Structure 1
Amino acid sequence: MGPATEHPLRYALVNELHARPSPRLKAPSTCVFVAFKEPRDAANRDLARDMAHLSELVDRHGGPRPDPDESHYQGRLGRHDLKWESHTEFVTYMATTPGLPIRPFDPSAAAIFSEEWQKGAPGRRVAAVMVQIDTLPAHPQEALDRISDWFARDSLTAVWVLEEAAMIAGDFRIDADGWMRFAIFVRPDVGEGRIGRIVHRLVELETYRAMSMLALGRARGLSRRLNELEPRLSAIVEGMTDDDRAADAVLHDLLAVSAELEAQAVQHSFRFGATKAYEAIVMDRVSALRETRFMSRQMLTEFMRRRYQP
């Protein structure tokens, strides 16, 4: 069969299935992850600026040059394996290295993403995650003792995932250096691909959690404005029974309120629609981990139900 029989998008669409593979990781290893989003109209941003920022990082570390027409990149930068992806509203960078820092969650592990380079990003940082992957101790209590020193007790989540192939722990707090921390302990027989998928789902969970909550400030501001409009609307309705008031004046006031409500709806519809979509992804990533309880500790689903979904 010749090229004339093929749909022009056939190969491109199949290749897209393999364009964003999860990293392959061994234990022990370290993953640092950042996501940047422009504060306004991020869906219509200049993608060339994102590519220039990626190219700057690659050039600093002597990695292979990215294709300016691609929305994803993978390359070796010194000791780091870098994975970059461009999404509708944000871009993500994931750098993984073998081994663990001498001090748990030492900020030096994220040196590839220097402060100077991050300040030069077209957008602002909406997620910054550090993940430590280690081998599960023979006695799970030892893992529990370690995470008790690393995370805040009141918000600690610790769960088995994927039929107890690994244990994930974190507290969804930002440390003094600006990183959200997660620890993963994997059984010795867990493969590199599976470890990579666990890490990928975890950083996606945090990224989409952050993106979904961007609407919170807008929701609060909108609630205040609606509360301000309510007495004004009530006064208009009450005034409709006043025979001394001209009908065209009442109509003018009603149209003014209606126009403002419509404007508010237009301004907020994209953000609120995106929030629903991102929230669905968050819960999908939690579900995909197939968690079970670890030594009576709080589960991800419980944390999400109590602290995130409200």
Structure 2
Amino acid sequence: MKDVIRHLEIHPLREMLYEELHSRPFQVIPSPARITHIALQVNEEQKRAQFHHLQRLHELLGYEIPERESHCYEQTFGELRIRWEKHLEFTSYTFINLAPQTPQDPFAEQGISVLPAGWLEQMPGTVIAAFHIAIEDAREVQEPEPNEVKPWFEQMRLVGSSPQDGDARVWTTFRLHSDGFGRFLVYNKRMSDSQLGRLVQRLVEIETYRLMTLLALPEARRTSPVLSDMDTQLAHITEALAENGAEDESALLAELTEMAARIEAFRAQTTFRFSASRAYADLISSRLEELREDEVSGHLTINEFLGRRLSPAVRTCNTVGERLEDLSRRVDRVSDMMRTRVEMAIQHQNRELLSSMDKRSKIQLMMQHTVEGLSVAAISYYLVGLVKYLLEALYGAGVAFDKAVATGIMVPIVLLAVWLATRRIHHHFHTLAESELPEVQARKKRNERRKRD
């Protein structure tokens, strides 16, 4: 039975789908430890350059150089552990100093302290998040009071909580410090190395996703005033259309077209950013729930602080995105109104044109009847002349008759014959036109249905 699966057709992605759940495992982190996390926005070329840069680090430290690139690469170099992860918009490095010295200042030594000189400065990409995490073991060192923690955060206002139902204590400020990095201080009270690794991973994701979420806020602030101006402009256009005396519809239509193009340009620039902001905000909410925080007396918890500061920013981005979509729909509706007005104007012009054509046709028909009458007279005149030549020829051949009487008799006969022939020709063309009229009407109806579709 063990070999049954080998005889079945296997989906080519089956193994990848199994491995996806294990592609970014939680780390096992001892305490004490010093961690530095850096997230960088990169393009595809910079991602490849980062992997070559990582290979260079192996060469500098004297370790075997990796050949295959992966979404999550982790390697331990003695007391230094490095984790490199590739995400959709950014890549991240986590540097862990597994055996730090423990001076009085927990941030005097960081995760990047043991890196080769000059390697970090040459890293490709644009830094979006960079912060240090100092982990202390509260079972070995005495946990300080909040007023003793504050100098390590350069006297900034602290945010503190006791996550995992009080098994740890976390201090931070969510601010940049004088070294250009953010700071987290974690005191491990009763957590295992695996539990500590999961806590650190949640803190890392919360801080990184917080910054990625806020990337949409400058776009929202830049777009909102422009949308207000376009909203006012659209209101004026709609008001002009509502008035019977809208003076220049072509100018209004040109204005609408320009506005629609600007809206589509804004949508192209902001749609992905706003959607990404909502996705990152959802991830932050789930990570905050997993922290299971208890309050530290006199301090905001991480959940309370981010709920108070981050949620309004996310709602602002969502509101601007919804306003942009609403404005786009309104412009489409006004454009439909304009097209309807233009079509109605064209139909009115067509009716007037058809009416004038009908009048001209009647005049032409009357003229045609007049010309036909004159034509009958003219043709009859020439035919009577021919008949007269024929009678003279017969008289000259010895046939006795009165030429004047015979000519007079032939005149009404010729007139009647010419008139009958003309009427017959007219009737023939009239019948031909009537036979083609249904086909023309059916073709016209088909064209109208195509326009409506």
TM-score, structure 1 normalization: 0.88
Equivalent in the alignment of 1:256: 258
Equivalent in the alignment of 1:8: 12
Say which of 182, 185, 188 aligns to 1:183: 185
Distance, in Å, in 2 between the alignment partners of 1:147 and 1:234 is: 56
SS in 1 for 2:264: helix
Distance, in Å, in 2 between the alignment partners of 1:277 and 1:204 is: 13
Distance, in Å, in 2 between the alignment partners of 1:236 and 1:213 is: 35
Deviation per CA, 1:169-212, whole angstroms, max 9, x where unpaired?
Answer: 1011111111110011011x421111111111111110000101
Deviation per CA, 1:9-62, whole angstroms, max 9, x where unpaired?
Answer: 333322222221222111111111101003xxx4x6663223223223333323
Distance, in Å, in 2 between the alignment partners of 1:114 and 1:272 is: 39
Equivalent in the alignment of 1:30: 34
Aligned pairs (5 A) from 1:86-235: 86-97=86-97, 98-102=99-103, 103-106=105-108, 109-112=111-114, 116-136=118-138, 142-151=144-153, 155-187=157-189, 189-235=190-236
Equivalent in the alignment of 2:249: 247
Change (3 A) 1:290 1:269: same
Distance, in Å, in 2 between the alignment partners of 1:133 and 1:301 is: 20
Amino acid at match of 2:136: D
Equivalent in the alignment of 2:60: 60
Deviation per CA, 1:244-288, whole angstroms, max 9, x where unpaired?
Answer: 622222111112111211221122100000000001111211111
Change (3 A) 1:237 1:8: closer
Distance, in Å, in 2 between the alignment partners of 1:146 and 1:3 is: 64
Distance, in Å, in 2 between the alignment partners of 1:203 and 1:268 is: 26
For residue 115 of structure 1, report the CA deviation from its aligned partner. Answer: 8.4
Relative contact order higher in (CA < 8 Å, ≥ 6 apart) = 1
Equivalent in the alignment of 2:340: none
Distance, in Å, in 1 between the alignment partners of 2:88 and 2:115 is: 22
Higher share of residues assigned strand: 1
SS in 2 for 1:260: helix
Distance, in Å, in 2 between the alignment partners of 1:62 and 1:138 is: 34
Distance, in Å, in 2 between the alignment partners of 1:20 and 1:130 is: 21
Whether contact under 8 Å (1:136, 1:143) holds in the other structure is no
Whether contact under 8 Å (1:63, 1:76) holds in the other structure is no
Whether contact under 8 Å (1:64, 1:75) holds in the other structure is no
- Of residues 15-24 and 44-53 in structure 1, the stretch that sits farther from structure 2 once superposed is 44-53
Amino acid at match of 1:3: R
Q: How well do the aligned residues superpose, as a CA RMSD in angstroms? A: 2.6
Equivalent in the alignment of 1:85: 85
Higher share of residues assigned helix: 2
Identity of paired residues, percent? Answer: 29
For residue 106 of structure 1, report the CA deviation from its aligned partner. Answer: 2.2
For residue 108 of structure 1, report the CA deviation from its aligned partner. Answer: 5.7
SS in 2 for 1:122: coil
User: How many residues matched?
Assistant: 305
Amino acid at match of 1:222: T
Distance, in Å, in 2 between the alignment partners of 1:115 and 1:212 is: 33
TM-score, structure 2 normalization: 0.62
- Of residues 2-11 and 124-133 in structure 1, the stretch that sits farther from structure 2 once superposed is 2-11
Instruction: Confirm whether residue 20 of structure 1 aligns to residue 24 of structure 2.
Output: yes
For residue 164 of structure 1, report the CA deviation from its aligned partner. Answer: 1.2
Distance, in Å, in 2 between the alignment partners of 1:242 and 1:140 is: 82
SS in 2 for 1:218: helix
Whether contact under 8 Å (1:36, 1:121) holds in the other structure is no
- Which ranges of structure 2 fall in alignment gaps of 5 or more residues? 313-453
Deviation per CA, 1:42-87, whole angstroms, max 9, x where unpaired?
Answer: 4x66632232232233333234433434111011234211111000
Distance, in Å, in 1 between the alignment partners of 2:58 and 2:132 is: 20
SS in 2 for 1:142: coil
Amino acid at match of 2:226: R
Instruction: Confirm whether residue 309 of structure 1 aligns to residue 311 of structure 2.
Output: yes
Distance, in Å, in 2 between the alignment partners of 1:141 and 1:24 is: 22
Amino acid at match of 2:231: E
The structure with the largest alpha-carbon Rg is 2
Amino acid at match of 2:82: L
Whether contact under 8 Å (1:84, 1:92) holds in the other structure is yes
Distance, in Å, in 1 between the alignment partners of 2:260 and 2:234 is: 10
Deviation per CA, 1:109-130, whole angstroms, max 9, x where unpaired?
Answer: 5235678544433321011110
